[in-house]
Structure formats: structure tokens, C-alpha cells
Structure 1
Amino acid sequence: MPVPARLPSWAWVSGLTAGAIVAVAVLAVQADRGSHPTATASATRPSASASKGAHPGPGKPAPTAAPAAVPADSGTGRRIVYSLGQKRVWLVDASDASRSTFAVWPGTVSPDPGTYTVSLRRDATTGSDGVKIEHIVYFGAKAGVNFAFSNALDGSSPPPASETRTGGIRMRVADGSALWTFGSTGTKVRVVD
């Protein structure tokens, strides 16, 4: 009885690889023909009757429909811009282009409008409200309250207790990392209404 010829191992590997490529291509074509989820912009804003101290909830700053433009009265050059009214921060480069913008949660005490400078940075600590925070970028003080940007380690941002005087301006973890990278000591901070 004759012995059947054996295929070399490279032939088996090549055949299996070709079959896998064909299977992936077929699945990709089928996936492309399916339905595609789309994101919708939400223009939900607090109503005029919303309480002044209301916060959207842990981890959820108020959504915006499109990135807001850098306020016109925020100066020029490389700077961090913080709008008290919009509860928003912009990281602006030397060419006056916004590199990033994001919503923030202010503390119970706000800095006065004006120009400040990043004076101190701390990796992590516990905030005056008892929340563990990181990426702390200090830029000013008023009546014994220090003002600093930071993010909670767990990403949350509960409303500050009304009886506690806090100057922390909280943001999401990713935004805190971006501001930490951008806001080196000596960086200008412009606070606007």
C-alpha cells in the first residue's frame, strides 16, 4: 500500500493564515453594512430657575453642544483661562489658540476676576472638603482660602458642603492631567466673569 505524501508545515501555516485573513475580511464587510451608532449633541443647560449652588452630579459637568470660544477679555499669550460664569477652563497656547476646554465644578469661594500666576503644584493631597485629590495647581488666595485646580482621585466631584469654605476648582481626571501638564509654575491664569 502506498504512503500518502505529507504536506510541509509551512504549507499548513500559509493555508491557515490565508483562511483567517479571508474570515476577518468577510466579518469586516458585514460589520460595515450594519447599523452605526451616532452621537448626538445635547444642548441641555440649567434653567434660569436652577439654584445657584446646584451641581450636575458626581462626575457629570453640565454638557455643552459645542466647544465654547475663549472669552474675548481673557488676555493674550500662553495662559489658563477660567470663566466664573461659564464654569469652564481653557488651556490657551502662545498663538492664542485653545488647546483644550472643559467644564469644571467650582468651590464655595470664587477668585476675583483678574490675572494670577501658578505659584505651587502638588501631586496629591486631601482637599479641605475631605476628598482625595491630585494634580493640584495653586494660583491665588482670598480671605484665607487658596484657589487651585484639581481633580478627585476617583473622578467624582460631589457638591461642596455649603458650610465649608473651599477654593478648589475640580474637573474630570483627564482634564486634570491636561491642566497639570500645561500649568507649570509661572503659567499665567486669567479669571474672567
Structure 2
Amino acid sequence: MPVPARLPSWAWVSGLTVGAVAAVTALAVQADQGPRPTAAAAEPSPSASADAHPAPKETAPAPVPDGSGTGRRVVYSVGQDRVWLVDASDAARRSFTVWPGTVDPDPGKYSVGTRRQDPTTGSDGVQVEQIMYFAQEDGVWVAFSNAVDGSSPPPASAGAKTGGIRLPKADGDALWAFGTSGTTVTVVE
């Protein structure tokens, strides 16, 4: 009686690896075709300052404002103190409230210009990071940023001109990943 030939161990390992890769690929394709989560705003961290005002708690995602354009963009509402990250299909992927500076940009279309990821000291004395400049108003640069420690900004001194639009840390991370240089920023009332 002939003895069956044994497969070398490398053949077993290769076969199992190919099978595992095929299974993971099939699961990834299936997951990609599933439902998408809706945008949810993160609750900001407690303030480092007793006088700072926390952003309001979210109850439902806010709709993207009418007249904010089309296509992939960041939308900032001066009146609502809110930002939307809108994808190319005009769907809001994330929306969150922000703490504005004392200088608001005029309504219109801008582009993300200079980006600075490394921490630096903001005009309010707080360590900020992920700074994304997009406008200049009254000689003051307007930019999105988040505090390194995730805190809300302290109240501005009387007469101070600050253009920093502060975001909660998780939202700052999301905006940094979404708003590459050249990304459109639409400012609305």
C-alpha cells in the first residue's frame, strides 16, 4: 500500500494565511456596505477655568445650514457656534459646538491655509494644538484649534481680539484629519 505524500508545513501555513486574508476581506466588504453611524457631537471636557462656559449638550445632530455650498467642506456657523464636516456627497459626517474667539470671520468661502500640529501657546495663555488658519479679520488671524488638555478657553479679557475658534479635543482630532490644506471652509451666519 502506497504512503500518501505529506504537505510541507509552509504549504499549510500559506493556505491558512490565504484563507484568513480572504475571510477578513469578505468581512470588511460586508461591513462597508452596512449602515453608517450618524454624526454625534462629543461632550467637551470640563473647563480648566471656573469662569469658562461649557458647550451645550447635544440632543440630535444639527442639519447643515442652507446656503453653505456643496461638496466636501467645513461649515462654520457664527450664530450657532457650530462646525459641520461635510463629505463630497453633501452629508454631514460630524457636527459639534465650538467656543469662538472675539473676532468673527465674515460670511463667505475660505480655504484652510497654514496648519500647525505642534503645541504652542494661544493668545489666551493656553497650550493649543492642531491649529488650522483659514481667514484674517481686522488684522487678526482666525483659526480652529483645540487645547492640549481638552479644556474650554477662559473668558477673553475686556477689549482682547482673539481669532481662535476652540474645539473639544476629540472634535479637534476629527477636524485635523478632515481639513487638509486647501479644504474649503464656508462661514455662514
**SS class of match (1:176):** helix
Partner of 2:167: 171
1:94 counterpart residue number: 88
1:135 to 130, 140, 154: 130
Does the residue aligned with 2:173 lie in a helix, a strand or coil?
A: helix
Query: C-alpha root-mean-square deviation of aligned residues, in Å?
Result: 1.5
Give, in whole Å, the separation in 2 of the partners of 1:59 and 1:110.
18
1:128 Cα deviation from its structure 2 partner: 1.3
What TM-score do you get using the length of structure 1 for normalisation?
Answer: 0.68
Structure 2 counterpart SS, 1:185: coil
Matches within 5 A, 1:27-176: 58=52, 60-123=54-117, 124-157=119-152, 158-176=154-172
Question: Residue 132 and residue 59 in structure 1: after superposition, are their counterparts in 2 closer, same or farther (change >3 A)?
Answer: farther
1:186 matched to 2:182? The reply is yes
Distance 2:81 2:51 in 1: 14
Gapped regions of structure 1 (runs ≥ 5): 1-55
Give a deviation string over 1:84-135, Cα, whole Å, max 9, x none: 1110000000010111000000000100000000011001211112111011
Instruction: Tell me the number of residue pairs that the alignment of Structure 1 and Structure 2 aligns.
Output: 138
Looking at structure 2, the residues matched to 59 and 187 of structure 1 have their Cα atoms a distance apart, in angstroms, of 29
Structure of higher RCO (CA pairs closer than 8 Å, 6+ residues apart): 2
Deviation at 1:142, TM superposition (A): 1.2
Larger gyration radius, structure 1 or structure 2: 1
